[in-house]
Amino acid sequence: MSVGPQAAPPLSTPWVPLWPLAPVMPVQYGTTLPGSPVDGQEAILVDSLTAPTYQWRFRYNAGASGANKWEFVGGSDARVNVDTDQTTTQNNQWVNLATVGPDFVVPRAGDYEVFMQAQAYGVATPMYVGIAVGDTSPSAATSGVMSASVQANIPAARGVLAGLAAGATLRMRYFMVAAGTGHWSARNFYVHPLRVA
C-alpha cells in the first residue's frame, strides 16, 4: 500500500523574528540635505540635479558632538581651476591675480578638506599659493611653496578648513617673498567636506 505525502503538523505558535527589522530608508539625492534626519540616514548632496559637478554622500550621526552631524562617507571632489598664466609684482603680501581665484562657495556650514596645486615661475625666491576664506590670508596648513626660478609645479598641498559658514568663499591666493614679476598658471584646487551641519 502506498502512502502519500503527509502534511506537516501545524505550529503551535506563529514564527517571530529574533530581532526587529529596521525600515529601509531610500537615499535622498538633491541640492539640500533632509531637514529632519534620523540616526544612520544617508543622503547625497549635489550642486545640480541635471549636471552635477560633485556628488557627496553623507551619513547622519545623531550622537556626534556639535552641530556638524552629517559625516562625509564618499563621493567626488569639487574641482575649480584657472589655467591662464597671470602675474603680479606685489611682494610680501597675499594677493589676488587678474582672474580672482579659483573660488569655491561651500554649500553647508562645516569642516572641509582642500587639495591644491599650481605652476609658478619668475623669481628666484619662494612663491606660495594658499586657500583662504575670501580675501583673508591663508593659514600655513593650506599653503604650498616652491623656490625655483624656472617653471615648476608648486608641491601639492592638503589642508583642513574648519568651522566654515554656509556660503563662505574658498579662494586660492598668491604670495612671493621678494620683488620681481611672479607668474602662476594651471591653478586648481579640489574640495570635499569632512562633516557638515
In this prediction, residues 110-135 reach a mean pLDDT of 91
Q: Note the pLDDT of residue 74.
A: 97
DSSP 8-state class, residue 95: B
Answer whether residue 122 shows pLDDT above 70. yes
Class of CATH domain 78-196: mainly beta
Residues 6 or more apart from 135 whose CB is under 8 A from it? 96, 171, 173
Q: What is the mean pLDDT of residues 95-101?
A: 98
pLDDT at residue 146 greater than cutoff 70: no
pLDDT higher than 80, residue 20: no
CA angle 163, 54, 145 (to 5 degrees): 60
Query: CA-to-CA distance for 117 and 157, rounded, in angstroms?
Result: 7
The pTM (predicted TM-score) of the whole model is: 0.83
Using alpha carbons, select from 115, 177, 186 the residue that is nearest to residue 149: 177
CATH 2.60.120.40, the chain: domain bounds: 78-196
